[in-house]
């Protein structure tokens, strides 16, 4: 099952795509993650809370920028995944190398959860089933 966020900004704004299959959930972020993305990130968080999935991939491959003001929302999404009753596990992929350094150095992302791409993320999470 695949669902695309309903709110789309015609000027190339932020959106997310959520695909679920059994215990796996892949969330792909598209566009700039900035203050205008807060509402969509809130909707994404609500979907994560309401899904039965326990193995998550956050894919940042199509993100065009990440503002510092939005770091808190990214941490909330990760916390929600990790604290799922079913034992949530997370892998993050597609991060621009510069953002990767910046986001890990301030603690927004954990280096041990970061992988190169979705295929590697699926392989690692598959071992945790």
Quick: pLDDT tens for 24-64. Answer: 999 999 999 999 999 999 999 999 999 999 999 999 999 99
Q: What is the pLDDT of residue 86?
A: 81
Measure the CA–CA gap between 121 and 56, rounded to whole angstroms: 9
2-126 is classed in which CATH architecture? 2-Layer Sandwich (3.30)
For the entire predicted model, the pTM comes to 0.90
Residue 85's pLDDT is 86
Looking at residues 8-32, what average pLDDT do you find?
A: 87
11: pLDDT confidence band, cut at 50, 70 and 90? low
The DSSP bridge partners found for residue 114 are 92
């Amino acid at each position: 099952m695949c669902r695309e966020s309903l709110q789309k900004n015609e000027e190339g704004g932020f959106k997310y795509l959520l695909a679920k299959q059994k215990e796996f959930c892949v969330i792909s972020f598209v566009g700039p993650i900035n203050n205008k993305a807060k509402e969509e990130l809130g909707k994404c968080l609500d979907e994560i809370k309401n899904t039965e999935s326990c193995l998550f991939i956050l894919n940042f491959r199509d993100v065009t920028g990440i503002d510092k003001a939005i770091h808190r929302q990214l941490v909330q999404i990760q916390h929600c995944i990790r604290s799922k009753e079913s034992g949530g596990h997370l892998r993050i992929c597609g991060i621009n190398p510069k953002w990767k350094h910046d986001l890990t150095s301030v603690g927004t992302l954990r280096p041990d959860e970061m992988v190169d791409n979705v295929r590697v993320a699926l392989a690692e999470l598959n071992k945790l089933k």
